Each structure stands twice: as structure tokens, then as C-alpha cells.
Amino acid sequence: MIWQTSARDILVAVDVQNDFLPGGALAVPGGDEVVPRINALARRFAHVALTQDWHAPGHLSFASSHPGRRAFETITLPYGAQILWPDHCVQGSFGAEFSAALAIPQAELIVRKGYRREIDSYSAFCEADGATLTGLAGYLRERGLTRIFLAGLATDFCVAYSAVDARRAGFEVVVIEDACRAIDTEGSLAAAWERMRNFGVTRVASDLVAAPVQSQ
């Protein structure tokens, strides 16, 4: 099946930022491989948005904010379980910048997330308290966009959480598998695909995503 995009579709490129690329603070294995794929995909969409992990210094998702704790341990915060990460994507830092190889000047929106020190947000729709909305669902609805294609980093965290929340908000959701890469800590990748499947997220290959018949 070919997935022909239309004026009601948007590509959301998740967290293609230096800290998630090789050499970055929270490097995702093969993270750099998604960049040319996402650039090529973006040309097949009438609409593109970017998300940007954007943490305040001393963010509570950082292991360094919890003396005696180490990265990739899980702790309990007021809103629930939180995996601790190396310091990453600190507001204004080089690591938080988009990859210089990302070439999507036509992107219409940048959604920043995780900017409050006390709350993480893997999802581009809703923060980790499960209640605070980012405004993305409202933006998409106001613009009549009904189907969201997701690509980027990391499959098992920001892509998966965004995909599930987009389904909860009533959108059709398609994850472009080969344009994503995973962190995969303690079975997180398999669990993420299972959860996405349960929520009705579709999984496709990038070569099956085609530009609209007529460009708009």
C-alpha cells in the first residue's frame, strides 16, 4: 500500500537535535541516519512541524539533579515513574539545536517541550503529568490537519509517546519506522511498539510514503 499524502496530513519530525545524534549527550544509536531520510520525506508533505526537547538547566529528568542517582535508573516523581537521563537538550545549548544537516526550512511550527524544570515531556502533545497540554492538538485541529506522520528520535520515547497521545486526541497516526531510531533501554523499544499497536498507530516504511498527486 502506498501512503499518498494530502493537504490534511502533516509530518512531525521529532527531536532531531545534536544531543540525540552521535557525539551528543544522549546519543541515539544511528540517530544521524534518520536526518537525510526525514529531509527527503519532508518534501512529500504539504505541512511539516518540528519538535524540540527543551529542558531548563537542572531539569528533574537529569540524573545530575538527584545526588547518588545514575543515568538510566528509574525514580518516582510526583507524576509517576521517571527514567533519569544524562543532561541533554538544555535550553540554548548546542546540544539542543537541530542538527545542521536537517534541511526543512519550510517547517511551519516548532513545538518545544520539557521546558518546565519539574515536569518531563516525551510527548509533543501532553507533559508527563498526563494533564498539561502543549497546544499541538489544538493547533492541528484549527488548521484542519487530521493525519500525523511521525519520524525522528527516539522511537521508544518521544516518538512513541507522541504517537499514543495523538491517537488519544483523535488523530490518525502513522509512524515511519525507518526514519526513526531507538534508545532501547530495558526492553523499551518492544514495549513502545506494542503500546503503539494497541492504540491503533500504523507503522510504515518511508519508501511507501508518496507526495500528493498535485502539489499544493
User: Rule CB under 6 A: which residues touch ligand VGL?
Assistant: 15, 20, 53, 85, 122, 153-154, 157-158
Q: Using CB distances below 5 to 8 A depending on partner kind, what does residue 153 bind out of ligand VGL, Zn ion, none?
A: ligand VGL
Distance of closest approach, residue 156 Cβ to ligand VGL, in angstroms = 7
Cell of 1: 500500500
* Residue tagged active-site, from 32, 53, 126, 158: 158
Whether 113 sits among the annotated catalytic residues: the reply is yes
Q: Using CB distances below 5 to 8 A depending on partner kind, what does residue 154 bind out of ligand VGL, Zn ion, none?
A: ligand VGL
Distance of closest approach, residue 212 Cβ to ligand VGL, in angstroms = 29
Say if CB 134 and CB 124 are below 8 A apart.
Answer: yes
Whether 180 sits among the annotated catalytic residues: the reply is no
Within residues 80-109, the interface with Zn ion by CB under 5 A covers: none
* Residue tagged active-site, from 53, 89, 113, 165: 113
Contacts of 173 (CB under 8 A, 6+ apart): 147, 148, 150, 163, 166, 167, 196, 199, 200, 201, 202
Report the residue number, 41 or 180, with the smaller CB distance to ligand VGL: 180
Report the residue number, 20 or 45, with the smaller CB distance to ligand VGL: 20
Report the residue number, 53 or 127, with the smaller CB distance to Zn ion: 53
Helices (H), 97-187: 136-142, 160-168
Distance of closest approach, residue 14 Cβ to ligand VGL, in angstroms = 6
DSSP states along 169-215: TT-EEEEEEEEEE----TTHHHHHHHHHHHTT-EEE-GGGEE--SS-
Asked if 32 is part of the footprint of Zn ion (rule: CB under 5 A), the reply reads no
Cell of 16: 532531531
Cell of 53: 526537547
Asked if 53 is part of the footprint of Zn ion (rule: CB under 5 A), the reply reads yes
Cell of 180: 526513526
Nearest CA-CA partner of 103 in 193, 29, 35: 35
Report the residue number, 123 or 206, with the smaller CB distance to Zn ion: 123
Residues found near Zn ion in the complex (CB under 5 A): 53
* Positions marked active-site: 15, 113, 158
